[in-house]
Amino acid sequence: MFRLYKGLPGYFKRRKLFQLMLMLVLIGGMILFYVTGYVQTGSPKNLFTVMAVLLALPLSKVAVILIAVFPYKGTDPQEFSEYRERLQFGQLMAELAITNPNLPTLWAVYAFVHAREVILYTKDRKGQKTDTATLKKQEDFISGILAAGGYQVNVKAFSAEDKFKNRFNDLTKKELNDEEELDTAVIARMLSKLAI
């Protein structure tokens, strides 16, 4: 029930909670090791202090993930289910934060994968529209990653929900054969691996 599934509503809320709990456990472990070593030896120069310091490495990793995920709000499950009801063919995903070392993180409220096409509805962290030049660079980045995996995919990101809905409605009516359905599932998995 608490399992984290990328691409479903509520993922970011659960991910934040999990990372926060893990952070508290690691901090508690650091304090416990340090205090245990100090009480036993009367000095901070002991093996327990080294173990406490070594816990700082996983703690920093958890903190970085928490900081990266923290600004993003979740998707409304009601809206997601409305999209799901209209879905006939393809894969629908939500709450994807796709990172790129050269560009700001792409916050995909919804992502829809259909055969050789991926469409995204995006917002920035403040819920505003992302500029078109940045969206184009993000589209090229995602299609380049998918092409490296052997899939030539047309990626289109929309910052306006009505344009996303129109394209979504057009694509969901197009039937997929078995091979395209399999490709769609693989592309959706690759897309979720790009996200934090």
Let me know whether 184 and 87 are in one domain: yes
Last-in-domain residue among 23, 47, 69: 69
Let me know whether 96 and 188 are in one domain: yes
Tell me the average pLDDT across 20-46: 94
> pTM to 2 decimals?
0.79
Helix (H) or strand (E) holding 107: strand 103-114
Question: Residue 26 domain-assigned?
Answer: yes
Which ranges of the chain does DSSP label H, i.e. alpha helix?
11-41, 47-54, 56-69, 77-86, 132-148, 161-172, 178-194
Residue 86: the pLDDT is 85
Last-in-domain residue among 69, 93, 112: 69
Residue type present at position 184:
T
Question: Residue 113 domain-assigned?
Answer: yes
Identify the domain containing residue 30 by its residue range: 11-69
Residue 118 binned pLDDT confidence (cut-offs 50, 70, 90):
very high
Residue 31 binned pLDDT confidence (cut-offs 50, 70, 90):
very high
Residue 113 binned pLDDT confidence (cut-offs 50, 70, 90):
very high
Average pLDDT over the chain, rounded to an integer? 87
Question: Residue 2 domain-assigned?
Answer: no
- DSSP state for residue 151 in the 8-state scheme: -
Helix, strand, coil % (nearest 5) of the chain? Answer: 55, 20, 25
Let me know whether 64 and 81 are in one domain: no
